[in-house]
Amino acid sequence: MSTRQKWLLFGSVVFGILVLDQVTKLYVHQTFALHESRPVIANFFSFTYVRNSGAAFGMLAQQSPTFIRLFFPTVTAVALLGLGIYFARVPAQYVLRLWGLCLIIAGALGNGVDRLWLGQVIDFIDVHWHTYHWPAFNVADSSICIGVGLLMLDAFRTPQT
């Protein structure tokens, strides 16, 4: 992969995931009542509109609104800056690593937009087995998780020099 292709990958993946994330959240926000749930696959998968003012799995959600409004945008900005610098320094031949970083950056931007817009994140993907629920998540969360998985795979595949 050339350097030009590396940056084309970055722009395309980040833009595509960000648009998909925001369009799905906007759809849920406009067509669902808060806490409304619509089954997709009975007893397994639903779309459920919830808002998360905390981090993953609702961590830190009990903190003051002032803390949340200052903490999360600051952490997101610092993380995006660090990830962006790292992406710029990764050689173009490390394709798996570049994909992972693109997905993480796109997810962080998607949830960051929500935090700036609403002060919290819209989640709606609800995976469950009858009454046992995994915490709801969204496209941005999925992008981050897949990106982290790709970075882990890359760490096991790529010899460190």
**Looking at the annotation, which residues are catalytic?**
123, 141
DSSP single-letter state for residue 161: -
Return the H-helix or E-strand segment holding 128: strand 121-129
26's CB contacts (< 8 A; 6+ apart) are none
Residue among 32, 51, 63, 64 at smallest CA distance from 117 = 51
How do 37-41 and 121-129 pair as beta strands? unpaired
SS3 of residue 93 by DSSP? coil
Asked if residues 50 and 123 have their Cβ atoms less than 8 Å apart, the reply is yes
The rounded distance, in Å, linking the Cα atoms of 8 and 91 is 14
Asked if residues 125 and 142 have their Cβ atoms less than 8 Å apart, the reply is yes
